[in-house]
Amino acid sequence: MAIVGGGFTGLWTARELLRRDGGLRVAVFEKEVCGFGASGRNGGWASGLFPLSNASVIRRYGRESFDHQRHVLQDAVRELGSCARDDLIDARFVHGGTMTFARSEIQRARLLDELSAARDVGIGDGDLAWLDEAELGAHGRVAGALGALFSPHCARIDPARLVRGLADVDEQLGAVIFEHTAVTRIIPGRAGRRAEVVTIGANVHADYVIRATEGFTPNLPRERRTIVPLYSLMIATEPLSSDFWDEAGFAHCETFADDRHLIIYGQRTDDGRIAFGGRGAPYHFGSSVEARFDTNHKVFMNLEATLRELFPSMNGSITNAWGGPLAMPRDHAPFVRVDFDSGLASAGGYTGDGVVLSRVAASALADLITSPDTQSAFTRLPFVQRTGKRWEFEPFRWIGINAGLALANWADRVETEHGTVSRASRWLDRLVD
């Protein structure tokens, strides 16, 4: 087996394959070092979230598939923590749940509508609950919060510790990892010839070649329109005082966001920092992925301003800033695919929810490859063995994606400044859907 990409998807896949069949020969190829991409740079939310809304999943795949997927993803949060402990990986896993704050009446109404819709599809109080202002103190507070939706199905992790730990575990299981090895081409198998990985130094043939390149996928030939790389940027504070944390809360390391349109996300780290990120960086023409896009001074400034708005008493300085690309498919749904004829397989397209989804996708890949005639809980997921749409040619995807970012900014600005729902919000919903 040859796996292209040393992030969560590739490393979980190697682990799951070798757990199922210790006699397999597995090689992982990584252009930089394992965890160099989104797997080592993300916000550290190990959540049961899915990139599509509940209504979209039900509309596309049906209620039964929705129920099955929801339970698999919720269970997968706890299972990820168990796997890390079993493998002696200190990933700083704390299963404290996640909070989405309402910081305006508009956000409160929107979140309560979301809660009502969740109840309509069988999601009970134990899976999603409303916390009023008085109940926030038991979890965490941000300035101006009128309440929050709380889900227990999320854990705080240190993603870099997890991904590097997985690399060590894979090597202990027998995988061979080739870091600093760029793959320039993947060739499908045909007419008795096995699939092939082309690197600068050598070519490798394998029964299956698994592409696990996520946001870096457009760098491969003929993959420019498979996903689009969206840049998400982060900042981190210095360790904050115990007085600050006594006031802010988050004693159980609940992750947090609010219900603005332009996504933000945060966590309390193990050493008492706030790691905080968000969208807002532009999509770059032609699905370009370059190291210089990992930093954007304007976005970093906006993130710091937002963080200080959420926590006015925070006196600590910002000590770190970074970013990187995540992968978004055209229909916003992740994918797991195995072509048994060509020997090519792939997984990804998590749109920022990949910490848990990557392990679920890896389990589906491993089940499909090692037991192709047997269905499992993972292979029955609706995004497994599906065919997705390709993105439009340029300049249409550049116009559409950056228009979406502009609409999200506009909608948030109107809601903040005028206290009304913007027409941009409705246009954004139509564009995303």
Report pLDDT for 382. 98
Q: Can you say whether the dihedral through the CA atoms of 412, 111, 70, 141 is positive or negative? A: positive
Q: What is the pLDDT of residue 433?
A: 59
Q: Is residue 432 scored above 70 in pLDDT?
A: no
pTM, full prediction: 0.96
Q: Give the CA count within 13 Å in the CB-facing half-sphere of 17.
A: 26
Res. 74: pLDDT tops 80:
yes
The sign of the dihedral angle between the CA atoms of 181, 187, 193, 195 is: positive
pLDDT of 422 reads: 78
Coil, helix or strand at residue 195:
strand
Report residue 429's pLDDT band, with 50, 70 and 90 as the boundaries: confident
Q: Which residue's structure tokens are 């926590």?
A: 311
| Region 283-312 average pLDDT | 97
Tell me the average pLDDT across 101-126: 97
Bridge partners of residue 348, in order along the sequence:
335
Q: In the sheet that 27-29 helps form, which strands lie side by side, from edge to edge?
A: 176-178, 27-29, 2-4, 209-211, 344-348, 335-339
Of 7-16, 93-102, 129-138, 423-432, which gets the smallest average pLDDT? 423-432
Find the mean pLDDT for residues 87-98.
98
Portion of the chain with pLDDT greater than 90, in percent: 94
- The tokens for 173 are 């299981």
| Architecture of the domain delimited by 1-95+154-227+329-391 | 3-Layer(bba) Sandwich (3.50)
pLDDT of 78 over the 70 cut: yes
Q: Which fold does the domain 98-151+230-327 belong to in CATH?
A: D-Amino Acid Oxidase; Chain A, domain 2 (3.30.9)
| Structure-token pair, residue 121 | 């599809």
Confidence of residue 427 (pLDDT cuts 50, 70, 90): confident
The upper half-sphere exposure of residue 404, i.e. CA atoms within 13 Å in the direction of its Cβ, equals: 17
Mean pLDDT over 285-299 rounds to 97
Residue 216 has pLDDT above 70, yes or no: yes
**How far does CA 277 lie from the centroid of its chain?**
13
- Residue 31: pLDDT band (50, 70, 90) is very high
Type of residue at 15:
R
pLDDT in the model for residue 324:
97
Quick one: which of 230, 258, 264, 265 has its CA closest to 402? 230
pLDDT at 378: 98
Distance (Å) of CA 14 to CA 50, 169, 228: 23, 10, 25
- The whole-chain average pLDDT of the chain stands at 96
Report pLDDT for 431. 66
Nearest to 276 by CA among 356, 375, 156: 156
Residue ranges of domains in the chain: 1-95+154-227+329-391, 98-151+230-327
| CB-based contact 14:169 (threshold 8 Å) | no
pLDDT at residue 418 is higher than 90: no
Mean pLDDT of 326-344: 97
Residue 423 clears pLDDT 90, i.e. is over it: no
State CA 363 to chain mean position distance: 16
Torsion over CA: 280, 286, 289, 292 (sign): negative
Quick one: pLDDT band at residue 191, thresholds 50, 70, 90? confident
What pLDDT shows up at residue 87? Answer: 97
Distance CA(337)–CA(15), nearest Å, equals: 18
Give the 3-state secondary structure percentages of the chain, helix then strand then coil, rounded to 5: 40, 20, 40
Tell me the pLDDT band of 192, cut-offs 50, 70 and 90.
Answer: confident
Distance CA 124, CA 133 (A): 21
CB atoms within 10 A of CB 248: 20
